[in-house]
Amino acid sequence: MSNTQQLEIFIESEGDAKIVRPVGDIDLSGAPALRQQISQAQQEHPTRLIVDLSGVPYMDSSGLATLVEAMQIARRNDALLIICSLQDKVRSIFEIARLDMVFKIAQSREDAISM
């Protein structure tokens, strides 16, 4: 009937990259948890922060705002923020918001790590 999911957020490490992997819809109710997890990952000053969206079937502008904020913090920290593995529906909202050219977006997590 519905494949909406309650949001879960996983934090993983690979080499010197920290990976934040949310699973579920990112909307106004889920964005604060994502913001908090990304901010926590950033406090460890990784040189590379990857947000893996493979498990995100839906995102609204609350999610986009969270990612824009994370990118600005990463820039101030001289860190690299890469978003990877967007599902088609989520890619289309990045395009509508004209953010597909603003973020570094990788096809896969492997690409994001070697980018």
Contact 47, 79 (CB under 8 A): yes
Owner of token pair 């896969």:
108
Q: Which is nearer to a copy of itself, 58 or 104 (CB)?
A: 58
Site string for another protein, 84-113 (x = CB under 8 A): ----xx--xx--xxxx--x-----------
Strands (E), 35-79: 48-52
| CA gap 65, 15 in Å, rounded | 28
Among 1, 15, 16, 76, binds a copy of itself (CB under 8 A): 1
**Tokens at 82, concatenated:** 């890469």
DSSP code of residue 81: E
Site string for another protein, 1-40 (x = CB under 8 A): xx-xxx------------------x-xxx-----------
Please report whether residue 62 would count as binding another protein according to CB under 8 A: yes
